[in-house]
Chains A and B, each alone.
Chain A
Amino acid sequence: MGKTHAVDERRNHQASHLITISTEERGGSVIVRVDGEVDIASAPRLEAELTRLIRQGRSVILDAGAITYFDMAGVRALESVARLAGRNGELVMAGLSHPVARVVDIVTAAGPVPRFATVEEALAHLRRGRGPA
């Protein structure tokens, strides 16, 4: 009994350092809000969630305003999802926090996916249709 409890505690402890992903439906799009640190340990979960939505043909806005840490693992995850977009759904990112913008500005020419200053601007873009950003 005590052992099981310890394992659960360890899981909770690890989870508290990963990311929290919450989704919200708005204006025909899905807003995916990520809180926490996106790195090699947490990026696979983000990629899986975004991939699931894109495969459903959804227009997805990644609200990156509450990401406190971001590195190449996050960039690669978004690029990987972006390759599925187009035929399927569409992925854009919005409201980049400073840690996200700093890395994205250095390692991508125009961002791994189209980027917008705010979620509202991203929603307006997606409402106008699925043309290129």
Chain B
Amino acid sequence: MTSPRWTATYRLFTRPDAPRIARTLITPAVRLAGFSGDDLLDIQVAVSEAVANAFKHAYGGKPGGRIEVDLACDERELTIRIHDSGREVTPGLTVPRTLPPPGEGGRGLYLIGRLMDEVEIRQPGRRGRGTLVTMKKRLKTASA
């Protein structure tokens, strides 16, 4: 990533509507970054899934947890970081390369992996806590 044109940070709390709040908040910024149509939809779904995972797994569906969503935009791509400070449910969590069967888990992460250009999961995340999911979507005009 070259030096960003801008960054934005959203602080969310664990509630069932946190995924909807997250995708609604980021939408103007994602448009500003230059994304529309399917790319915008992909980013909305990927962010919602990551926030839903933090709510359900890292915080066990309990209220009061914090989730940070950071956006950083440069000329080539949008980098989105989603960080929770909850428990690491599955140490060594990676994005599945093939579709996991229903009931095995991991389909949400597989979906994120298919929708975004790059996805990385780091545990522990920031400040030695939780999970940090970093995902990137490249601007189509910049990659030409």
Contact = CB atoms under 8 A, between A and B. Distances in A.
Nearest to B45: A71
Given A72-B49, A99-B41, A40 B110 contact: no
A79 interface: yes
Contacts of A106: 99, 110-111, 114-115
Task: Determine the main DSSP class of B at the interface with A.
Answer: helix
Nearest to B103: A79
Interface string A33-51: 0000101110000000000
A75 B52 CA distance: 14
Task: Determine the main DSSP class of A at the interface with B.
Answer: helix
Interface size class of A (residues with CB under 8 A): 20 to 34
Q: Which among A37, A71, A73, A79 has the greatest number of chain B C-beta atoms within 10 A?
A: A71
Interface residues of B, number: 23
Given A72-B49, A102-B41, A40 B111 contact: no
Given A102-B41, A103-B45, A72 B17 contact: no
Interface of A: 14, 17, 37, 39-41, 69, 71-73, 75, 79, 98-99, 102-103, 106-109
4 interchain residue pairs of minimum CB distance? A41-B16, A41-B17, A72-B108, A40-B52
